[in-house]
Amino acid sequence: MTASSSPPTAVTEQARTLIEPELRTAVAGLDPHLGRAIGYHLGWCRPDGTPTRGGGGKAIRPALTLLAATSVGATADTALPGAAAVELVHNFTLIHDDMMDGDELRRRRPTVWKTFGAATAILAGDALQTLAFTTLARHDSPHAPRATRVLARSMTELVSGQTQDLAFVRRPWQGPGAVTIPEYRSMAAGKSGSLLGCAAELGAVLGGAPHRTAAAFGRAGRHFGLAFQCVDDIIGIWGDPKETGKPVLADIREGKKTLPVLAALAAPVPAAAELADLLTTPRADEAELRRAAALIEKAGGRRFAERESQHHLERGLACLAEADTGGTARDPLLALIDYLGRRTS
Amino acid sequence: MTASSSPPTAVTEQARTLIEPELRTAVAGLDPHLGRAIGYHLGWCRPDGTPTRGGGGKAIRPALTLLAATSVGATADTALPGAAAVELVHNFTLIHDDMMDGDELRRRRPTVWKTFGAATAILAGDALQTLAFTTLARHDSPHAPRATRVLARSMTELVSGQTQDLAFVRRPWQGPGAVTIPEYRSMAAGKSGSLLGCAAELGAVLGGAPHRTAAAFGRAGRHFGLAFQCVDDIIGIWGDPKETGKPVLADIREGKKTLPVLAALAAPVPAAAELADLLTTPRADEAELRRAAALIEKAGGRRFAERESQHHLERGLACLAEADTGGTARDPLLALIDYLGRRTS
């Protein structure tokens, strides 16, 4: 399963290599302490600033931006500011989300708030959001104003999606006030759909595609983002900590209302009722968390999320077919999309 | 002293009235919970969403933007997106700073993090930053790309300035590692100079001023921002809680390295040594805090900050004279600047 669990290396590695100078230029303009915290998060250095190698993210979003640009017949270079901007935004949300969720590990290392404290984590996220807009605005592409609008709109949705997600944690598992699957979908559209939609649309916009084509790329990216979130939910319960770099059963432990759990609770099977009892047990131990994961699977929650992911991948591909660009990036784009549905970390 | 302690009402009230629809449109696009937290902060509603009147900020920055536009011969309308953007950024920084500083009161009411919790405060700030860029990007002024670059640059400086300010709290009052006055000035340039500089420059840019004129407005605004920070430091120690809406002696209590304190400590007078002893006393009581304030005044710290403020107001006015726009807004602009140096809340 190595082939399906690693991102299509050539494409994401190329994206990471291409955007790194943009990211380093952006971060270099910040206060050194803030630059160190961000460099640590991005895998460039230790907390004390000593350079390190590796440990950054998978560069899926920038890869999508660059492939969208080449799909519409432009060079990857044209879309570099967009690719860097989505990566900066992605990392902004990771740093703030880790803090809000109280997550202590990210990419197998202590998170920024855990390492540098809450104030630095807040400021590092704030700075990354600013740098995303700075990076787009610095380049004088004639398409920069349109690109800025696309980025701004998607960030509004992103923040609203994260707000809904946090509100879900406080809501009950069952009865009045319980989170519904349509509510989950709306949250996921904001939290994950918007940024992958933005990544794809920015590539097309900066590549000079007409509005209709760029919008189709945006819709495709949103579906890929929703598929991505379904897979994330599956990994959040059944992922291997050695691969994910996060604690086992993390999402159940944190009481996250993810799709597999919501689908399992809604299923008309005895396992659903048993699961509901277990989830409302205060301070469940490790064995109970494992039992909950088994019940979610038994009640069909995992299969439901897998199907939903597959559905969004197909819808996304249909949007791309509709855009009908005849560009040169078809194969690597399909490989990236295939990976989104199959990844295990 | 009523005339000098209230902002020049006509100008700031007009600015507030003009930008409010822009702000409301921006906030309406957010998740309702987030919109309520921001509406509460802006004085539009109670925490439960019930509408209220008043309680928002003084609208100094948007007033400066609108006056800069009319100074360069444009209508105030031209600069509305810029005026709204700086007000959104200002409120983004207030919400995040209150949380990082642990401040519980703002404009006489509990702060956002205190009322809605840390996660909502983080997201509300994030959303306000996004909305600032959204507001600028939504309008199709031919000057929008330049305006976006001005805003992005100033936000980078702002976040770096706040990082320095927070780092100051952890540094000693005296000896190796103590904060110097040049370091304070660099921090204040980022934390306060950048946004008032941005406010003035955005008005000139959106008003269609040539680069040289807009840059002169930017420099003027930076000086006004530095003057503003000096006055803020004075109010932070000697301000009347009834006027400021914050606890008495707030900055000394929090160990803030503000200009009056740093200047007092650097003065070659016996009061400076006595002050140093007092500031390093762990858990000083109210009487000791009052004694510290008296010593800062005695060692010349307050006078130093007043002079520095005056110096920046004069430098700022010289920059405006250099811009030599011959526009129509001279009198209200001077009234606003005069207020910046004299305000008491």
Q: Are A223 and A312 in contact (CB under 8 A)?
A: yes
Cβ of B119 within 8 Å of Cβ of A166? The answer is yes
Closest chain A C-alpha to B339 CA, distance in angstroms: 31
Q: How far is CA A330 from the centre of its chain?
A: 22
Secondary structure (3-state) at A1: coil
Q: Are B205 and B214 in contact (CB under 8 A)?
A: yes
- State the best of A89, A101, A139, A159 to mutate against chain B, taking most chain B CBs within 10 Å: A159
Closest chain B C-alpha to A152 CA, distance in angstroms: 5
Is the CB of residue A186 less than 8 Å away from at least one CB of chain B?
no
CB pairs under 8 A between A and B: 132
Better pLDDT: A8 or A308 = A308
Closest chain B C-alpha to A157 CA, distance in angstroms: 7
* Buried b or exposed e, range B176-201, using 16+ CB within 10 angstroms: eebbeeebbbbbbbbbbbbbbbbbbb
Is the CB of residue B317 less than 8 Å away from at least one CB of chain A?
no
**Least CB-CB distance to A133: which of B30, B119, B133?**
B133
| Residue among A259, A242, A155, A239 nearest A202 (CA) | A155
Rg (CA), chain B: 20
Cβ of B125 within 8 Å of Cβ of A129? The answer is no
Chain B's closest residue to A33, CA to CA, is: B163
Chain B's closest residue to A123, CA to CA, is: B159
Is pLDDT above 80 for A7? no
Q: What H or E segment, with its residue span, contains residue B122?
A: helix B118-138
| pLDDT tens over chain B, length 345 residues | 333 456 777 889 999 999 999 999 999 999 999 999 999 999 999 999 999 987 677 899 999 999 999 999 999 999 999 999 999 999 999 999 999 988 898 888 999 999 999 999 999 999 999 999 999 988 878 899 999 999 999 999 999 999 999 999 889 998 899 999 999 999 999 999 999 999 999 999 999 999 999 999 999 999 999 999 999 999 999 988 888 777 778 788 888 899 999 999 999 999 999 999 999 877 778 899 999 999 999 999 999 999 999 999 999 999 999 887 766 667 888 889 888 888 877
Residue B4: per-residue pLDDT = 47
Cβ of B149 within 8 Å of Cβ of A137? The answer is yes
Cβ of B126 within 8 Å of Cβ of A159? The answer is yes
Residue B169: per-residue pLDDT = 87
CB atoms < 10 A from the CB of A249, how many?
19
Residues of B within 8 A of A186 (CB-CB) are none
CB atoms < 10 A from the CB of B9, how many?
10
pLDDT per residue as tens digits for the range B261-282: 999 999 999 999 999 999 987 7
Q: Are A305 and A213 in contact (CB under 8 A)?
A: no
Closest chain B C-alpha to A246 CA, distance in angstroms: 21
Average pLDDT over residues A171-195: 95
| Residue among A226, A168, A97, A120 nearest B170 (CA) | A120
Q: Where are the beta strands (DSSP E) in chain A?
A: 105-106, 109-110
Q: Give the N- to C-terminal CA distance of chain B in Å, as an integer.
A: 12
Rg (CA), chain A: 20
Instruction: Answer whether CATH 1.10.600.10 is correct for domain B2-342.
Output: yes
**Least CB-CB distance to B164: which of A31, A129, A137?**
A31
Residues of A within 8 A of B30 (CB-CB) are 156, 159-160, 163
Is the CB of residue B285 less than 8 Å away from at least one CB of chain A?
no
Is the CB of residue B119 less than 8 Å away from at least one CB of chain A?
yes
Is pLDDT above 50 for A4? no
In chain A, where the domains are located: 2-342
Chain A's closest residue to B145, CA to CA, is: A145
Residue B342: per-residue pLDDT = 83
ipTM > 0.95? no
Q: What is the mean pLDDT of chain A?
A: 91
